[in-house]
Chains A and B, each alone.
Chain A
Amino acid sequence: MKAFRATPLLMIIPSLLLAMFIIGYPIIDLAYTSMQQVSRFGQLRGFNGMANFAEVFSDPLFYASLIRTGIWTVAVVGGTLILSLPIAMILNDEFYGRGMARVIIMLPWALSLTMTAVVWRWALNGRAGLLNASLMGMGISHEPIEWLATAPVAFTTEILIGILVSIPFTTTIFLGGLSSLPQDAYEASMVDGATRWKQFRFLTLPLMRPFINIAIVLNVIYVFNSLPIIWVMTEGGPANGTDILVTYLYKLAFRFGQLGKASAISLIMFGVLFVFIIIYVIMVMRNEDDGGAAGEAAE
């Protein structure tokens, strides 16, 4: 009996070790660097304990970026989920030209984030931008709007673009989920006289829960760490007003040459994400233990 249990374990040990090395090495190296005095050019200059962390925690820009990272992540992920579910449901229904519609929704995914951000940066240019030209051409606005000039407007714009680029991926997850839902439940509910809204509220939403959960976890990880949109459009400016942790970190590391402080911040970011995911997984598992329909659909 014992040997029977050990064999499969032994067989996965090599790949487990390899995976641990590939995932673990950068983290350990990062942790090591974050406790060193690091020169402008990345040469380690000796142990300095928690000095890098102390510097991070006494930096007002760090806290401002941390709060903004929270807003950014919640707004982009929330907005994406709210928009993606209806889109996926529409695309799941049979209608003429559905294939084309699916392609159009998925197409932005094929573009690199950086290119998308560059195109938007041009489109949002105050004087020469396409968006202002269109708005003024349609008579909606009379003065050109400077989209990226002030932090609140720029940050909102960046969140909207963040949502736009996250929709294809999330919609794909939801489409996969919707096509696996049991049709007989819907037929039974129709016999019982359920309205479309009740079907959505009491059938689709509970059955889709595992897919929504995975969409939340993956999107939070991507969005939390996403550099290109904000970096290309505003570089965290004006006056650091759109800096999130990852753009601030990039500035520290590659502009100011503070690699020690930067590695401390990235370790903190890793910690924040790690804690979030652990809490989230625990919450999801507790819900499943309650014996919801979601638990079954996940299997």
Chain B
Amino acid sequence: MMLQNWKALAASAVVLGLAGFGAQAQAQTQVNFTVAEYSSKTGPYFQEVATAFEKENPDIKINIQVVPWDTLLQRLTTDIAGGTAPDISIIGTRWLLDFAAQGVAEPVDAMLTPDFKGTFIDTFMAPSVIDGKIMGLPVAASARAMMVNMDLFEQAGATPPTNWDEFYAAAQKLKALPDVIPFGLQGKEIETDAYYYYSLWTHGGDILKADGTSGLDSPEALEAATSYKKMIDEGLTQPSPTNYNREDVFNLFKQGKVGMIFTFPMLIPQIKAEAPNMKYKILPFPEGKAKATYGVTDTLMVFSTSKVKDAAWKFIEFAYKDEWRSKFDHGEGFLPVTKGVAAEPYFTEDPDVAGFAAGLPYAKFAPTIANWEEIADTTVRTLQQIYLGEVEPEAGLKAAAAEINKIRGL
């Protein structure tokens, strides 16, 4: 190792010497790229892309900063306030509107050639369009689905449900098994609201009504909440859902103690590694009045303050080549956002991935509206009060809707 370093050092010294001796050295443009850490593979992957890019474009240096999701928004906030914002960054699409409204995000329409634009699946492009301008590119996508433990279903003699009535009936049958939780219900921390939206959407409701006011005071929203509450009261979920965050619920499922959960594709590699013998199945969410799944995208955003937008864009075009996108989606367990990768047999034939991808045509996205985090928090607080029995579902949802409308200034 030492020897190799030595050689590399010597070689670069020689190259530097030659460069200095011959034509004048090319000035390097540095592009700062903040990457959200999806898994331990994320950093090395982007480093690999950057190295390959730098080989083709020796005048551009890509400086990659890997930041965990939990602190990403705080980190970007501090960087922007301090005037040291990166040139490009991966962000949660739900933040994009705030970035755009504050003039932090740069519209990419001018740089996006029709050819390049054509490589994206339109569904995933839609959330990045704000006031008719494309404010970023989809970089990662996932959809949600129901996962059932087939071992438990066979023991209980139950059939995997397709609608909410069957869902309830299956839960009743699973309850007969000792030490088994029929339905894993998430009740705290990140995405507690999403766990409820699955039910809200499939019951025919929506987060916002057509007029932009909160949809939580609709009859569908009430039905969605009472169906969860009923299952809690009848012992068809964990005894106190408010003590379980997403990972807690998934961990119980991995231990084979839970019959049905609502989850994301990233759980599959975890199950394969930690519970390789489990027989599971990916199914669409139970249907009520509508079919739905939750589509989640992340966005690659260009900062308006960047002085090296051309170089940054060159790198972006490079990173969206099929070979790189394919490696990224496989490695992280995401659904493809580009048509080229989506056509790969893996994404159409693998039962797990196909199970999640099947919902994409009717996927719903979190609305791109200002103050989304605060609205989500209001929803979570109300759900927790309902789950704990501190408030009647109807009164709680009405109050939450009024509060959300106030936050939205309606």
Q: Contact between A41 and B102 (Cβ–Cβ < 8 Å)?
A: yes
Q: Contact between B81 and A238 (Cβ–Cβ < 8 Å)?
A: no
A244 to chain B, nearest CB (A): 16
Residue-wise, chain B 73-103 has the 8 Å CB interface mask toward A (1 for contact) of 1101110110000000000000000110110
Q: Contact between A128 and B242 (Cβ–Cβ < 8 Å)?
A: no
B contact residues around A257 at 8 Å (CB)? 77, 98, 373
Q: Contact between A42 and B240 (Cβ–Cβ < 8 Å)?
A: no
Chain A, interface residues (CB within 8 Å), range: 20 to 34
Q: Contact between A126 and B77 (Cβ–Cβ < 8 Å)?
A: no
A contact residues around B239 at 8 Å (CB)? 126, 143-144, 146, 149
Given A126-B243, A150-B388: A41 in contact with B238 (beta carbons within 8 A):
no
Residue-wise, chain A 222-243 has the 8 Å CB interface mask toward B (1 for contact) of 0000000000001101111000
Our count of residue pairs bridging A and B at CB distance below 8 angstroms stands at 87
Residue-wise, chain A 120-158 has the 8 Å CB interface mask toward B (1 for contact) of 000001111000000000000001101111100000000
B199 to chain A, nearest CB (A): 19
- A226–B101 CA distance with the chains assembled, in angstroms: 34
A151: nearest chain-B partner, CB-CB: B388
Among A190-198, A206-214, A248-256, which stretch is in contact with chain B?
A248-256
A contact residues around B76 at 8 Å (CB)? 41
Q: Contact between B78 and A42 (Cβ–Cβ < 8 Å)?
A: yes
Given A125-B248, A149-B243: A238 in contact with B102 (beta carbons within 8 A):
no
A contact residues around B248 at 8 Å (CB)? 125, 127
- A40–B374 CA distance with the chains assembled, in angstroms: 12
**Contacts of B93-125 to chain A: CB distance below 8 A:** 98-99, 101-102, 104
Residue-wise, chain A 25-47 has the 8 Å CB interface mask toward B (1 for contact) of 00000000000000111110000
B244 proximal to A (CB < 8 A): yes
Given A39-B102, A257-B77: A239 in contact with B243 (beta carbons within 8 A):
no
B223 proximal to A (CB < 8 A): no
Among B24-32, B46-54, B377-385, which stretch is in contact with chain A?
B377-385
Given A237-B189, A238-B188, A238-B388: A40 in contact with B102 (beta carbons within 8 A):
yes
Classify the interface of chain B: helix, strand, loop or mixed: helix
- A251–B190 CA distance with the chains assembled, in angstroms: 13
B contact residues around A258 at 8 Å (CB)? 374
Q: Contact between A126 and B390 (Cβ–Cβ < 8 Å)?
A: no
**Contacts of B340-399 to chain A: CB distance below 8 A:** 371, 373-374, 377, 380-382, 384-385, 387-388, 390
- A199–B373 CA distance with the chains assembled, in angstroms: 59
Which residue from B81, B102, B242 sits with its C-beta under 8 Å from A237? B242
- A256–B189 CA distance with the chains assembled, in angstroms: 15
Q: Contact between B77 and A40 (Cβ–Cβ < 8 Å)?
A: yes
B46 to chain A, nearest CB (A): 24
B contact residues around A238 at 8 Å (CB)? 187-188, 242, 384, 387-388
Would you mind naming 16 contact pairs between A and B with Cβ atoms under 8 Å apart?
A: A39-B102, A41-B77, A43-B81, A126-B239, A126-B240, A126-B244, A127-B257, A128-B251, A144-B239, A148-B243, A149-B241, A237-B188, A237-B242, A238-B242, A238-B387, A257-B77
8 closest Cβ contacts across the A-B interface?
A42-B81, A149-B240, A149-B243, A146-B240, A239-B384, A238-B242, A41-B80, A238-B384
